[in-house]
Amino acid sequence: MSPKLQPVRGTHDILPDEFEKFHAVVTLARELATLYGFKEMATPIFEPTEVFSRSMGETSDVVSKEMFTFETKGGESVTLRPEFTAGIVRAFLSNGMQQHLPLKLFSTGPLFRYERPQKGRQRQFHQVNFEYLGYDSPAADVEIICLAGHLLYSLSGKTGCTLQINTLGDRESRLRYREVLVDYLTPFTNELSESSKLRLMINPLRILDSKDPQDKKITEGAPKITSHLNDNSKRRFDFVYKRLSEMPGLQRIQITPSLVRGLDYYTDTIFEFVAEIGELGTQNTVLAGGRYDGLVEQLGGSPVSAIGFAAGVERLLLLSKGLDWENIQDIKIAVIPFEEIGAESTLLITAVLRNELYAHQRSTRIKGNYAVEILWQGNLKKRMERAAQRGATHVLILGPDEVARDACIIKNMKTGEQREVALDYLKDERKLIEILSIIELDSRLRGNDKA
């Protein structure tokens, strides 16, 4: 009798009962992508090897140890994708997407890394991935981290994860810090691991991410990059941290100077959401990401600012409870702030609106989704045109006179009617029905309640 066939080590079958939960996690991520104005796209499962080696760095663990690379019959070196970002940027350049900036892109699918299989981590695994390209403001950092937190809160039903945040600084700050770090590490050269000796002259920041016990002991006393930031990088990080501290649902935020992230393309803001020890095994990072303003240029394009994050679906499943969703979009709201309105007010108002609308949708089990997106750039006319092009059913206008009165304007894009509404209505679920009435959902909700 032939031996029983098993999956290849580091892979697993997703059987029907598990797949229902797996699909629910991906559907929830897709819902939130829509809510935050992201469009879905897909890239090939394998790419030319240089797409990853040029972007992630030859000394990164992924490139040096974990990639599934092989040669095609035509002699081309290709690699099964170990992450999404590099492939998304390659697609961005290959398809001339620069003319459509800013872009919010969502992707999901399988990825491949040759590493030791463990709880929630396999050699073939799946991710949901979010990229925001073309908007340099730190407001983009705040918005995408809020999206990450929203995803985790919606899955776990609690704020059980800690947001760890750090900055790597811009190019100038990193060069300044690199010199200081090399000066500190050089006396320890003989004590470093072999891989860290190689990194010392190529990319010393990667030594801070080493898992080797001796490397960790050495880097405990290393200078912190937050002490070597230029004014621009310091202002950006201060803005991001302060705004995140105001956001609903992000109650546990921790500045972590030792946080580096394992890939070479990160700059400025980087972050991880970390679960309680034991929930996900020894590796307790749930999702992670950061800003990568130099990557597009590194792969041959003109400079483009960008930030993103990814989360493993298998790891999200370990935190999820009782997911059951419909996925039909009905309402899309475009938020248009005047230039006089600060990013702080806009981000807070939009965060509250998104949270309350989504909570109401779930509590009433209505059939349909909401989408709320901020349109930051351009004059009012152009942004109204862009809102119409993107299928907005309603526009929320934050003008200086209205905000001074703690109010905003909601315009129905179908009828052209508009009405001034107190901002307090966005912050109190008891008054939310007034907003829903204004955007013509009250009769449908009453119909669903009867059903």
pLDDT in tens, 326-350: 444 457 889 999 988 889 989 988 9
Q: How many CA atoms lie within 13 A of 434 on its CB side?
A: 14
Task: State the Cα–Cα distance between residues 177 and 226, nearest whole angstrom.
Answer: 9
Task: State the Cα–Cα distance between residues 269 and 168, nearest whole angstrom.
Answer: 7
Measured CA to CA in angstroms, residue 230 lies from 5, 107, 233 at distances of 58, 34, 6
* pLDDT for 257: 83
Sheet holding 285-291, edge to edge: 39-40, 103-112, 124-133, 306-312, 285-291, 267-274, 162-167, 253-255
* pLDDT for 73: 92
Nearest to 330 by CA among 372, 358, 369: 369
- Break the chain into its structural domains and give their ranges: 16-170+230-317, 172-226, 329-450
* pLDDT for 65: 72
Query: Hunting for tokens 């020890």 — which residue is that?
Result: 277
* pLDDT for 248: 83
Measured CA to CA in angstroms, residue 295 lies from 52, 267, 406, 412, 416 at distances of 11, 10, 41, 40, 42
CB 299 within 8 A of CB 90: yes
Which DSSP category does 5 fall into? P
| Residue ranges of the chain whose pLDDT lies below 50 | 322, 325-329, 441-451
Query: Hunting for tokens 């092989």 — which residue is that?
Result: 70
CB 125 within 8 A of CB 110: yes
- Pairing mode, if any, of strands 253-255 and 267-274? unpaired
CB 306 within 8 A of CB 134: yes
Nearest to 237 by CA among 143, 306, 169: 169
Both structure tokens of 34:
């829509």
Q: Is 116 exposed, middle or buried (0-12, 13-18, 19+ CB in 10 A)?
A: exposed
Phi–psi pair at 106, nearest 5 degrees: -120, 140
Neighbours of 82 (CB within 10 A): 24
The DSSP annotation for 12-75 comes to ----HHHHHHHHHHHHHHHHHHHHTT-EE----SEEEHHHHHHHH-TTSHIIIII--EEE-TTS
Neighbours of 7 (CB within 10 A): 10
Which DSSP category does 191 fall into? G
Task: State the Cα–Cα distance between residues 50 and 55, nearest whole angstrom.
Answer: 8
For domain 16-170+230-317, the CATH class is: alpha beta
Task: State the Cα–Cα distance between residues 32 and 169, nearest whole angstrom.
Answer: 29
Considering the entire predicted model, what is its pTM? 0.81
Residues in the chain, total = 451
Query: Hunting for tokens 């009798």 — which residue is that?
Result: 1
Which DSSP category does 415 fall into? T
Domain 329-450: CATH architecture, name and number where available: 3-Layer(aba) Sandwich (3.40)
CB 31 within 8 A of CB 325: yes
Q: Is 352 helix (H, G, I), strand (E, B) or coil?
A: helix
* pLDDT for 329: 43
Task: State the Cα–Cα distance between residues 11 and 25, nearest whole angstrom.
Answer: 19
Q: How many CA atoms lie within 13 A of 206 on its CB side?
A: 24
Task: State the Cα–Cα distance between residues 403 and 409, nearest whole angstrom.
Answer: 9
Q: 418-445 in b/e burial notation, b at 16+ Cβ within 10 A?
A: eeebebebbbeeeebeebbebbebeeeb
CB 428 within 8 A of CB 434: no
* pLDDT for 448: 43
